[in-house]
Amino acid sequence: MRKLDAIVIGSGQGGTPLAKALAQSGLNTVIIEKRWVGGTCVNDGCTPTKTMIADARAAYVVKHSYDHGVDVRSFTIDLPTIIARKNKVVASSRNNTEKGLQQTKGLELLYGTAVFTGQKIISVMKDDGTTETLTADKIFINTGAKPLIPAIPGLAHVSYYDSTSLLDVDKIPTHLVIVGASYIALEMGQLFRRLGSTVSILEKSHRILPKEDEDIAHAVQDMLVSEGITIHTGAAVTELNQLVPEKIQVTLSTNDILEASHILLASGRVPQSAALHPAATGLQVDDKGYILVNEYLETNVPGIYALGDVKPGPAFTHVSYNDYIILRNNLLKHTRQSTQDRPLLYCMFTDPELGRVGLTEQEAQQRQLPFTVVSLPMSKVARGIETGETRGLMKAIVHRETMEILGASILGASGGEVMTVLQMAMAGRIRADQLRDMMFAHPLFSESLNNLFMQLKQA
Ligand SMILES: Cc1cc2nc3c(=O)[nH]c(=O)nc-3n(C[C@H](O)[C@H](O)[C@H](O)COP(=O)(O)OP(=O)(O)OC[C@H]3O[C@@H](n4cnc5c(N)ncnc54)[C@H](O)[C@@H]3O)c2cc1C
Ligand SMILES: NC(=O)c1ccc[n+]([C@@H]2O[C@H](COP(=O)([O-])OP(=O)(O)OC[C@H]3O[C@@H](n4cnc5c(N)ncnc54)[C@H](O)[C@@H]3O)[C@@H](O)[C@H]2O)c1
């Protein structure tokens, strides 16, 4: 058995920089990866989807160019070129990540599948067919998550896609039916609609984006419907039947029956922990298989930590990366940073995008905080009017007494960037009334934060 100082299992968004930092600090470190370095974000998630979403946006802009006085009579979509561009962007990111790991002194990149076989003992089934047993004082689990395959009657007998396989679909679906109506469903639904598919989105809850405020969810729904997407809410799939190739009958709890050419399952993700055999090293997991950690990302087994999507909580690339920062600082710089105080933030890359930070209105209500809601439609934002980007709204939740910004939802062009301005204000404790009176360059989207907060009473 080979004894190391540190082992990182999984080369995701947290594990990769962590392995480098551990090795650079002088610890003899191995990082184990069963597939491709970079994990979900680089290979199946953010990088490929945001690349293809940009292509679909190009199609949308061309289609609407007449409004801007540019008359494009016709255009065609070249799916192989779109997929080839996506593959090139992904390969470049993956190769650079691999090089970065291989060139780090004191770090070994081991391709294979890790399994716990005893207390802090890991068996690696290597890609070359051999097996090696490793142990270390410190073990970091960064094995991420994978698509959830829901139990739908008939699913085993139909061909379906998940968010990974759809990225390599060989033709544009004529009718893409998507199960689920959250980030993956809405981003991919709009993407394929813009490439020419008929798209139907099915959500079993009574509305899409249940975690968002109702007005925001409705605005997103209106925006997607205006592009020709059909959304069925309160609609669980009760049966699937493959009639002929590329013809799948989809029966809904609402008694509607759809005929899909392609089905995308986008109903959540599950942690990749079971195959690790966490019980063999005494690790506690919850009922869904998430590896339990405390606010310092420590598991119940001393010396074993978990970071990224494999632990409970928000599953985003920036969260996994921030987990790395916390572990690096605590273990190598001897701080005691915790996950407790970081704000929730993310951006859903529909077009326009939804930038979200901090509390929603419904969360502020649940916490019984004294708050005021301010909102501004993008149709009143100067930059939006000038560029023709008038869809969406800016909304912020402000503490009524302290004028502290508690949270914001910015649905609009550059919504993620405007949200980040507010995130910085929240981090720096800049109050809403200060933003109301602050000078911003004209005519930026962020300049309209003046107008958004103008609804607050003058101090
Ligand atoms: C379609 C899609 C779009 C997304 N878009 C965004 C976005 O725009 N913004 C955003 O913030 N987030 C986005 N996400 C989420 C984001 O990709 C994840 O939150 C992020 O990648 C989590 O990274 P991680 O560090 O937990 O692990 P991952 O990136 O999932 O990496 C885990 C790695 O561990 C490896 N592994 C697993 N088990 C073993 C084992 N037993 N032995 C060895 N190796 C193992 C896996 O092969 C994988 O490489 C998206 C996700 C999807 C699916
Ligand atoms: N822009 C981004 O940051 C981004 C983009 C894509 C994915 N992600 C990450 O990936 C994760 C997974 O995303 P997701 O969209 O797959 O899942 P999700 O867990 O966010 O949402 C799943 C949705 O599917 C619905 N659902 C579940 N079972 C269903 C069924 N049988 N029929 C109909 N509807 C059903 C749920 O009610 C829910 O609305 C997210 O948590 C997110 O963190 C992030």
Tell whether domain 155-267 is in CATH 3.40.47.10. Answer: no
137 is in an annotated binding site: no
pTM: 0.97
Ligand at minimal distance from the CA of 263 is: 2
Q: Shortest CA distance to 142 belongs to which of 262, 6, 332?
A: 6
pLDDT in tens, 380-425: 999 999 999 999 999 999 999 999 999 999 999 999 999 999 999 9
Which residues belong to the active site?
Answer: 442
Pocket test for ligand 2, best of 267, 311, 350 (most atoms within 8 A of CB): 267
Ligand at minimal distance from the CA of 182 is: 2
Look at residue 91 and tell me whether its pLDDT is greater than 90.
yes
Distance 33 CA to ligand 2 centre (A): 25
Percent of the chain with pLDDT over 70: 100
Mean pLDDT of 29-36: 98
> What are the residue boundaries of the structural domains of the chain, listed by start?
2-147+270-332, 155-267, 345-457
Ligand at minimal distance from the CA of 41 is: 1
pLDDT in tens, 118-144: 999 999 999 899 999 999 999 999 999
The highest-level CATH class for domain 345-457 is alpha beta
Percent of the chain with pLDDT over 90: 98
**Spatial CB neighbours of 122, under 8 Å, sequence gap ≥ 6:** 7, 9, 32, 114, 115, 116, 133, 134, 135, 139
Distance 266 CA to ligand 2 centre (A): 6
- In this structure, the residue with its CA closest to atom 45 of ligand 1 is 10
Query: What is the b/e burial string over 93-113, where b = at least 16 CB atoms within 10 angstroms of the residue's CB?
Result: bbeebbebbeebebbbbbbbb
Give the model's pLDDT for residue 341: 84
Mean pLDDT of 351-371: 98
Contact 405, 425 (CB under 8 A): yes
E strand residue ranges, 28-104: 29-33
Domain 2-147+270-332 falls in which CATH fold? FAD/NAD(P)-binding domain (3.50.50)
Look at residue 266 and tell me whether its pLDDT is greater than 90.
yes
pLDDT in tens, 303-353: 999 999 999 999 999 999 999 999 999 999 999 999 998 999 999 999 999
Q: Which amino acid is present at 156? A: A
Quick one: residue 279, left, alpha or beta (phi over 0 = left, psi -120 to 50 = alpha)?
Answer: alpha
Domain 2-147+270-332 and domain 155-267 have a common topology: yes
Q: Structure tokens of 343? A: 């704000």
Distance 180 CA to ligand 2 centre (A): 6
CA distance 58 to 99: 32
Ligand 2 site, residue 310, Cβ cutoff 6 A: no
E strand residue ranges, 319-442: 345-348, 353-358, 371-377, 393-399, 405-412
Look at residue 459 and tell me whether its pLDDT is greater than 60.
no
Contact 31, 107 (CB under 8 A): yes
Handedness of CA 124, 130, 131, 135 (dihedral sign): negative
Ligand 1 site, residue 448, Cβ cutoff 6 A: no
Per DSSP, the residues of 127-194 read TTS-EEEEEEEEEEE---EEE-----TTGGGS--B-TTGGGG-SS--SEEEEE--SHHHHHHHHHHHH
Long-range contacts of range 435-441, CB-CB < 8 Å, 24 or more positions apart? 435/405
Contact 352, 360 (CB under 8 A): no
60 is in an annotated binding site: no
Using the atom order of ligand 2, give the atom closest to the CA of residue 237: 32
Distance 405 CA to ligand 1 centre (A): 31
456 is in an annotated binding site: no
Using the atom order of ligand 1, give the atom closest to the CA of residue 349: 8
Ligand 1 site, residue 275, Cβ cutoff 6 A: yes
Distance 63 CA to ligand 2 centre (A): 29
